[in-house]
Structure 1
């Protein structure tokens, strides 16, 4: 058999072709270092992967962002296996993330603390025994036949264009996987299982502090959004990718789109009515992470308020930038335009105070080419029945409105919070949905390649973790900008972009994961999407953006 050269930890070793990655090092080293997967050149693979040619191998742990995703997926699989063996009649479903945890609930039974404790003990038993998680590739017919009793998986497989699937098994339980899974249960620690609402939470330490947990952060306002979304999906009859594909094949895509858009508009009107009901409100601030649809949403709020007889005007926080030479710099010596200090908050607050007092002010205009405020501005006085609307990353930061009386403020957090599940055990992360939105928009509007978008994404997320997420609980209301059908529309645009990422790119793994994910959706023609939809902000031809 042919030999190959493998570089492991900067050392070259000669091995036989076909050797598995886990065979390159001692199992004790895998467990002690918590190796959950490996980076083969630029591709993330399981430790059971058979090497076919000379390559470079880097082991991934939960301290690494890529390794942490596999750690969370593997723990979720372990949880489902434990539930299956302890309470085989109880069907559970993964729902959404809450801080450093995933929320689960049962679709056919009540969940009590005793059950959670018993499942936790079973998971601990799996970890202590350091069981081997079997990973196999099954052909489509074999997989469909095996999962025919599980409707969500059956329909996902039935409509898939793939001819083989990853099947993972342990202790008599099998499931599909769309990412590599840890090979040994011994590396899957620490974790916590805690009762919450009508379900429970699976806690894990974040990669940055691993293995230390962060303090619990209650997000009850967000939880209410998830409960509302579950009811909305029930009304449409679509709660998984397989069922969405089923609706598309049955030519019900337009129905799904129009119901989704109507539901979303209804939620916007609810927020507008809430604003109007608070008679003192003069300023609405909107904040959310990248690709949430803030621009379109702010326009929709503005016109919703106008439809209720309120004069509403949108102003841009970008016009309150300090002159460029006064902009703080980051650790690399680059201008940090995303920090709160890049805004002239003193001038903003004085403008607002004067406006609320009925005075005429000069609203600034920023010259981005010159890097400073223009000498002329916009003269404005608030009418008796007028509300200002601003959107930007610092909309919920108390430093932005530090001199303003809270009774004049109404704060909204926006994000595509809820996504369809791939299956009962596999969720679609909000971050992944936003990244695909951004990738499509970057290319269509700015000519930015998928590689460039992927290269910038970590920096974008770090900025969100610093400037947006810590303040989301300051919001008076949350708005979920996700649309059930959006990935089926985005697939047409995203698929060629993701396929364009070369295999030698350091972002090939992420592109491959995103491509595998988007290919689960049957495409919907983009011209089905109303030109008033938030989705049009990313695919083009938005009525709101064309007019402003």
Structure 2
């Protein structure tokens, strides 16, 4: 029986197959167990494409489009098809993939003169994509020397990729070949273009959205959320990256290797400080006097440092800011609501005593004295320690927390008294023209570094918690982001090179026997493209210091 392998699928069902059977063939036996198309697999703790052969006994987990890894594979493969369609119709045009917005990726196509393509041309590209999908071309992985790969990039005039590979230490690289086109993509592909039945290009001036398949129905009618504020912040960040000449990792590496990183850090910090000052001025100039500043944002967005820097700018405008911590309004732990898994849901709005919070804030705004609560996390109970607060004419409350933009939190506080700010780390740079660095990855790296520095957590623990953290964000934060009066991008164009120095050693400690290995390997792969920089040039008030340490606000 040497030609037989035994596999456990999804850690429960044991099957045997002939040695050399592909993951694709095995997946067909389990397709009815999944809601959508299976596009990727994990053997033990490492991700593999479906065309990989199984030669040894192992555990297999399959991923469909309901998983983050599955969606990444699908949209990456779709990006390759998009680029192929563009080059077949407009040889001199260039595709630039920017960021995630609404239900897909925001992209732009420019001709050799820098002009954007019309909506009519976009429709033709979508039609050509459909033809490529119908022809069911194989995504073929090709191993080339770095010199050969750079030659292929030169043929396609993808100059950012040439610059990117200049800094790679590896002598060989994996490219993908789709019919006649060779290209590099950071991550895995579906087996063939026939898998990509759901897609849509939606006009979004000046570019368009390549829609995520999970947001297309059977007729591929696309739902577009109203995320104009977020889109405008992304576009502003992209504009500054262009002005700084650093919109890809290759550009950042050039800046580091040429010794100009110090100036880039200073300019980036100055831009951010100016933006915080503008927000403080907006608060001061509001027609109705603002009494409460509400700050919200996802995990590791830098809310804490932002709120402290904003308070300094408010002081410069004549205010006396006072911080209120929403954690002090937790209900007693024994009354905490339970989530669908039967665990205490401390991130639910119902875990807060919103009635008391509204009463306290309104009393403060009315000039009354308030005995402010304090939550004892050891006892799981609210306490009062004689912390009496009373607001004067120039006082203003600064409140930071995940529910800050949820209207239910402040439903009894007059709208004209509130100023709402959404903070997130919206990554400005990509690896190259077609490979983006997700904002989520930037925040995960921040959290890995911060958790290790300040909480003593390993990268294993942070990665293990991340799915639940993201689930809470989808429920409690993202639905309310457009409620903000203003949005603030806390990401720094240089920060990924600083975070690498801290995160990479922690990720290397995760070995292939651990369930978190696949995620660690994915993060390390893109960090490998980035030159690291030391932290000695980072100002003490920088948002980056909230994660790496050495902040003047600690």
Q: TM-score range by the shorter chain?
A: over 0.9
1:205/1:211 contact within 8 Å kept: no
What 5-or-longer segments of structure 2 have no aligned partner?
none
1:62/1:210 contact within 8 Å kept: no
**In the alignment, structure 1 residue 436 sits paired with structure 2 residue 445:** yes
The separation in 1 between residues aligned to 2:422 and 2:218, in whole angstroms, is: 29
Q: Aligned in 2, Cα 1:382/1:213: closer, same or farther, shift over 3 Å? A: farther
Q: Aligned in 2, Cα 1:150/1:245: closer, same or farther, shift over 3 Å? A: same
Q: Aligned in 2, Cα 1:120/1:334: closer, same or farther, shift over 3 Å? A: same
Which residue does 2:292 correspond to in 1? Answer: 283
**In the alignment, structure 1 residue 389 sits paired with structure 2 residue 398:** yes
2:138/2:179 contact within 8 Å kept: no
Which residue does 2:59 correspond to in 1? Answer: 56
**In the alignment, structure 1 residue 80 sits paired with structure 2 residue 83:** yes
Which residue does 1:297 correspond to in 2? Answer: 306
**In the alignment, structure 1 residue 220 sits paired with structure 2 residue 228:** yes
- Residue 147 (structure 1) aligned to one of 147, 153, 156: 153
The separation in 1 between residues aligned to 2:345 and 2:505, in whole angstroms, is: 33
Q: Aligned in 2, Cα 1:25/1:263: closer, same or farther, shift over 3 Å? A: closer
1:35/1:187 contact within 8 Å kept: no
Range with bigger deviation, 42-51 or 510-519: 42-51
1:20/1:48 contact within 8 Å kept: yes
Residue 325 of structure 1: SS of its match in structure 2?
A: helix
2:303/2:423 contact within 8 Å kept: yes
Q: TM-score scaled to structure 1, two decimals?
A: 0.94
Which residue does 2:261 correspond to in 1? Answer: 253
The separation in 2 between residues aligned to 1:56 and 1:208, in whole angstroms, is: 32
Q: Aligned in 2, Cα 1:214/1:198: closer, same or farther, shift over 3 Å? A: closer
The separation in 1 between residues aligned to 2:235 and 2:27, in whole angstroms, is: 46
Which residue does 1:188 correspond to in 2? Answer: 196
2:36/2:66 contact within 8 Å kept: no
Instruction: State the Cα distance separating 1:121 from its structure 2 match.
Output: 0.7
Q: Aligned in 2, Cα 1:4/1:529: closer, same or farther, shift over 3 Å? A: farther
The separation in 1 between residues aligned to 2:178 and 2:200, in whole angstroms, is: 20
Per-residue CA distance 1:514-541 (angstroms, 9 max, x = gap): 1101111100012221111101000011
Q: Aligned in 2, Cα 1:301/1:231: closer, same or farther, shift over 3 Å? A: same
Instruction: State the Cα distance separating 1:75 from its structure 2 match.
Output: 1.1
**In the alignment, structure 1 residue 402 sits paired with structure 2 residue 436:** no
Which residue does 2:39 correspond to in 1? Answer: 36
1:365/1:377 contact within 8 Å kept: no
Q: Aligned in 2, Cα 1:152/1:6: closer, same or farther, shift over 3 Å? A: farther
Spell out the pairing of 1:231-270 with structure 2 (5 A cutoff): 231-270=239-278
Which residue does 1:97 correspond to in 2? Answer: 100
Instruction: State the Cα distance separating 1:205 from its structure 2 match.
Output: 3.5
Instruction: State the Cα distance separating 1:226 from its structure 2 match.
Output: 1.5
The separation in 2 between residues aligned to 1:329 and 1:27, in whole angstroms, is: 37
**In the alignment, structure 1 residue 375 sits paired with structure 2 residue 384:** yes
Instruction: State the Cα distance separating 1:512 from its structure 2 match.
Output: 0.6
Instruction: State the Cα distance separating 1:353 from its structure 2 match.
Output: 1.1
The separation in 1 between residues aligned to 2:46 and 2:191, in whole angstroms, is: 17
Length, aligned pairs only = 544
Instruction: State the Cα distance separating 1:50 from its structure 2 match.
Output: 4.4
- Residue 427 (structure 1) aligned to one of 413, 436, 439: 436
Instruction: State the Cα distance separating 1:24 from its structure 2 match.
Output: 5.5
Instruction: State the Cα distance separating 1:70 from its structure 2 match.
Output: 0.7
**In the alignment, structure 1 residue 359 sits paired with structure 2 residue 365:** no
Residue 527 of structure 1: SS of its match in structure 2?
A: coil
What 5-or-longer segments of structure 1 have no aligned partner?
none
Range with bigger deviation, 250-259 or 5-14: 5-14
1:36/1:62 contact within 8 Å kept: yes
Which residue does 2:333 correspond to in 1? Answer: 324
**In the alignment, structure 1 residue 163 sits paired with structure 2 residue 163:** no
The separation in 1 between residues aligned to 2:27 and 2:301, in whole angstroms, is: 44
1:68/1:207 contact within 8 Å kept: no
Instruction: State the Cα distance separating 1:58 from its structure 2 match.
Output: 3.5
